Chains A and B, each alone.
Chain A
Amino acid sequence: MATTDQEVNELIKREYEHGFVTEIEVDTFEPGLNEDVIARLSAIKKEPEFMLEWRLKAYRRWLEMQEPDWAHLGYEKIDYDSISYYSAPKRKEDMPQSLDDVDPELLRTYEKLGIPLHEREKLAGVAVDAVFDSVSVATTFKEPLAKAGVIFCSISEAVRDYPELVQKYLGSVVPHTDNFFAGLNAAVFSDGTFVYVPKGVRCPMELSTYFRINAANTGQFERTLIIADEGSYVSYLEGCTAPMRDENQLHAAVVELVALDDAQIKYSTVQNWYPGDENGKGGIFNFVTKRAACIGKNSKVSWTQVETGSAITWKYPSCILRGENSVGEFYSVALTHNYQQADTGTKMIHLGKNTSSTIISKGISAGKSSNVYRGLVKFGPRAEGARNFTQCDSLLIGDRCGAHTFPYIESLNKSAIVEHEATTSKVSDEQMFLCRQRGINPEQAVSMIVNGFCKEVFKELPMEFAVEAGKLLEVSLEGSVG
């Protein structure tokens, strides 16, 4: 029992709600990339010498690297010389000393997005770092966090204020040689978030970064580094949106997590970059490298992602399980609609004894989209008693979309145990008929069925964001039945 095409078309027309453009004065670099651009960027950020050298080294290596083409994605080649590598809101002074110095238009932007940065109306219990184009504009709740010893600031500040920590850990999980996009990011990353949770500290609140791309023809290259020292715990969430523009915009981020002995990091993402219009025009190219190193024994890193945006998503949040008994988890919902393409999954690299990992991936394809799960589970020779459980489910809505699963398993240790389950299903005509026969309208029915399909992942999200994620799916999906 299919909904009529007309109904579907009407519903698909629903607009991306974060698609507005903020009119503010900005400083933007001329498009193009060379060593001078990098030097200028580093100078604007008043970076120490080591940082510039680090960037240039990465840049020189990047020039020799090839853009990867193994993913199940089709897009026109990116012209890296047509992109501007820095865009920042113009400020009244060099650096804002408080929120009063931040352009009110910018604060209004975040309010529109439901992220109040103003002291009076801050998100209850969640500390927020807001990154607008290339710079961090505000970080809330700095003081109570500082009292607990937690450092939560923009990466630019961290480079200046905590150079030892940055030098020790930056690039330690994702080296600039790792891949083409990580190399580019290392050369030109403009801002991002830095978190350090000291020994034995349980971070007193959720930490969150909100990324916004605003300027046209600008790439966003943010860099996030989170270090959880021995016995500490932190839960971190990132959210992303961008205006609707006809051109594709590049977002190439790197996220590095380091968990020492007995430390735990929970990293959640709600990614809602502009996905392009219903004809596949515009949208963000999201090429992201996210990786965690569970260095310490009994450490644990949990990735939860809800990916509904971007024209292209290329993203594999991974865990290197080096410490004995360390645990890696990956919970993912990736939804594609219209002409969106996603090639996403995870890598679980088991190096230490008795390490374990869990992968739960839910891919939902609608419209003419393509949704790929790509995952690697690897056991090193010393990974005695290691184990992995993988469950990969795909849900198809309509008959013009595609779902593919590419699981790779490599084991160099005979005692390793791997379990892999995979299913592909459709939102069936019978399910739709049952719901509608009970008086439920088709959009609500699809949303209910898809939410049910994603339940295992949503329950891993922090409370406030689980609700947001459910709503996001509803908006992204409405009327996608055909």
Chain B
Amino acid sequence: MLSIKNLHASVEGKEILKGINLEIKAGEVHAIMGPNGSGKSTLSQVLAGNDAFEVTSGDVTLNGENLLAKVTEERAREGVFLAFQYPVEIPGVSNLQFMRTAVNAMRHHKGEPEMNAAEFMKLAREVSKQVDLDPAFLKRGVNEGFSGGEKKRNEIMQALLLQPKLAILDETDSGLDIDALKVVSDGVNALRAEDRAILMVTHYQRLLDYIVPDYVHVLADGKIVKSGGRELALELEERGYGWLGIKDEATADSSALSNSAN
């Protein structure tokens, strides 16, 4: 489904991705792990089409189509979904209106009729239960005053509403306590489907206890340095990144960051 070949990308002239190769088939769940600064988040942003990053070479196709030739919103309508690590607030715009606008943009793209406010409300209430989010959140401004955990659940709720082909989850576990982690994981597991690929970016293996991946890749200094099955994550947990010849000096910082985001 997703094919990444020799992808190089830079931000403000600094090369971050230095030749990524990755194949993900429909129905598979892949986890990308690696220390901070290895390029995990950059990969997510580049796939979703953030113009702040410049692709300098390489190819990315989704179901055979050149993804890099499309702008952000076209990629989204073709089924690329990114659950953000730090979802931004949009004050005054209700979550409900935001989500309905997004759902209708997708429906419009597929030639389906738009959903009216009442129909969407019904759907949104059902889906909000799936991620244990009080329907009162639907009326609040997008992410406005949400806790870290609420923001992450709100992201997964959007994935469930939009039913993407490729769901990219960027550090979805950061800032979550164990209960929230479970709720979010249940939501992600509900996304697993024969015709959908999931790419999880995470620093820690604990998420993988709840969402069991088919493949695990280790990213270091802009390249995938090792790939394996589920057991690779456990090995990393036990031995750290050092045995792969990777310096992981950022680990202490990143755990501080994930705590503060909670």
A contact set with B: CB distance below 8 Å: 1-2, 4, 428-431, 433-442, 444, 448-449, 451-456
Complex contact A452–B72 (CB within 8 A): no
Top 3 closest A-B pairs, CB basis? A452-B92, A452-B93, A438-B102
CB–CB A442/B73 < 8 A: yes
Assess A448 versus B93: contact at CB under 8 Å? Given A428-B88, A439-B77.
yes
Check A449 against B93 for contact (C-beta < 8 Å): yes
A440 in complex: contacting residue of B48, B51, B73, B82, CB < 8 Å: B73
**Are A437 and B82 in touch, CB under 8 angstroms?**
yes
Q: Are B88 and A438 in contact (CB under 8 A)?
A: no
Once the chains bind, are B90 and A449 in contact (CB under 8 Å)? yes
User: Does more than half of chain A's interface fall in helix, strand or loop, or is it mixed?
Assistant: helix
User: Does A441 lie within 8 Å of B91, measured CB to CB?
Assistant: no
Do residues B84 and A439 form an inter-chain contact, with CB atoms below 8 A?
A: no
Does the CB pair A436–B90 fall under 8 Å? Answer: no
10 pairs, CB–CB < 8 Å, chain A vs chain B: A1-B72, A430-B88, A433-B72, A435-B98, A438-B102, A440-B73, A440-B101, A441-B73, A442-B73, A452-B93
Inter-subunit contact B90/A452 (CB<8 Å): yes
Residue B52 at the chain A interface, CB threshold 8 Å: yes
A456 partner residues in chain B, CB cutoff 8 A: 92
Produce 1/0 per residue, B45-75, CB < 8 A to A: 0001111100000000000000000011100
> Are the CB atoms of A429 and B52 closer together than 8 Å?
yes
Q: How far apart are the CA atoms of A189 and B76 in the complex, in Å?
A: 56
User: How many chain B residues have a CB neighbour from A under 8 Å?
Assistant: 31
User: Interface code B21-63, partner A: CB below 8 Å = 1, 0 otherwise?
Assistant: 0000000000000000000000000001111100000000000
In contact, A437 and B72 (Cβ under 8 angstroms):
yes
A481 to chain B, nearest CB (A): 12
Q: Is the CB of A439 within 8 A of B73?
A: yes
> In whole angstroms, what is the CA distance A440 to B105 when docked?
6
Q: Contact at A433–B73, with CB atoms within 8 Å?
A: no
Residues of chain B in range 85-134 having any CB-CB distance to chain A below 8 Å: 87-88, 90-94, 97-98, 101-102, 105-106, 109
**With A1-B50, A448-B93 as contacts: A438 and B76 at CB distance below 8 Å:** yes
Task: Tell me if B162 counts as interface (CB < 8 A to partner A).
Answer: yes
Additional A-B contacts beyond A435-B102, A453-B92 (8; CB < 8 A) = A1-B72, A431-B88, A436-B76, A439-B76, A439-B77, A440-B101, A452-B93, A454-B92
Contact of B162 among A431, A436, A439, A454 (CB under 8 A): A439
Contact (A436, B72) CB under 8 Å given A452-B91, A455-B92: yes
Measured CB to CB, the nearest residue on chain B to A448 is: B93
CA distance A429 to B88 in the complex (A): 10
- Report A-chain residues with C-beta under 8 Å of the C-beta of B106: 439
With A and B bound together, what is the CA distance between A439 and B71 in angstroms? 10
| Cα distance, A444 to B90, chains bound together (Å) | 14
Q: Which residues of A contact B19 (CB under 8 A)?
A: none
